[in-house]
């Protein structure tokens, strides 16, 4: 009679481990967001990030920017202290590559396509960051230091290390769960 009790206990323990594992797997967020601020600390936009099969989809709406083409990158620290946003650190680069989608030794995981701001100072951004995740691992946007989205004054040339000659950091948003 003792054997069935032992077997039953092992099944309960194993069932508990399976339940705990399933609960842990569900804690990885499928979405994230960022409030984007300008160099005065004023909110000028929002971004939503959604985990996709092939990366993280980023959708944002921003305003109060100069018309024209601007670079946007994911930076390696979850801090956005105006006015220069240097607190956001360098580009998110867990694989230690060089900057630029056209650079044979690149790109950084945080390199993203340029976007265009209209004559009204507004832009809608929709892009896919293929080298990052909202889940666990070295490419996670939720590592110990966090990450942020940074908008630059000019366009990225997609090749020059470390930031594509994209100019000053003019807006920033901490990526949050």
First to last CA, the chain: 51
What Å distances lie between residue 47 and 30, 58, 128, 140, CA to CA? 14, 7, 13, 17
Tell me whether residue 14 is exposed, middle or buried, using C-beta atoms within 10 angstroms of its C-beta: 0 to 12, 13 to 18, 19 or more.
Answer: exposed
Residues involved in catalysis: 73, 75, 91, 99, 108, 111, 152, 169
Q: Tell me how far CA of residue 8 lies from CA of 73, 126, 162, in angstroms.
A: 54, 53, 59
Name which of 105, 36, 28 is nearest 74 in CA terms: 36
Q: What span, in angstroms and rounded, lies between the C-alpha atoms of 30 and 101?
A: 26
Structural tokens at position 8: 């039953």
């Amino acid at each position: 009679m003792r054997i069935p009790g032992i077997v039953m206990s092992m099944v309960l323990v194993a069932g508990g481990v399976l339940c705990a594992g399933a609960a842990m797997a569900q804690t990885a967020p499928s979405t994230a967001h960022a409030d984007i601020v300008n160099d005065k600390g004023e909110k000028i936009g929002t971004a939503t990030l959604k985990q996709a099969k092939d990366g993280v989809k980023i959708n944002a709406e921003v305003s109060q920017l100069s018309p024209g083409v601007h670079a946007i990158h994911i930076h390696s620290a979850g801090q956005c202290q105006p006015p220069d946003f240097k607190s956001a650190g360098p580009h998110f680069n867990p694989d230690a590559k060089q900057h630029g989608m056209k650079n044979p030794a690149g790109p950084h995981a945080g390199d993203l396509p340029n976007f265009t701001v209209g004559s009204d100072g507004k832009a809608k951004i929709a892009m896919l960051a293929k080298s990052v995740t909202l889940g666990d691992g070295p490419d996670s946007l939720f590592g110990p230091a966090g990450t942020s989205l940074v908008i630059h004054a000019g366009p990225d040339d997609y090749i020059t290390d470390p930031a594509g000659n994209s100019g000053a950091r003019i807006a920033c948003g901490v990526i949050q769960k």
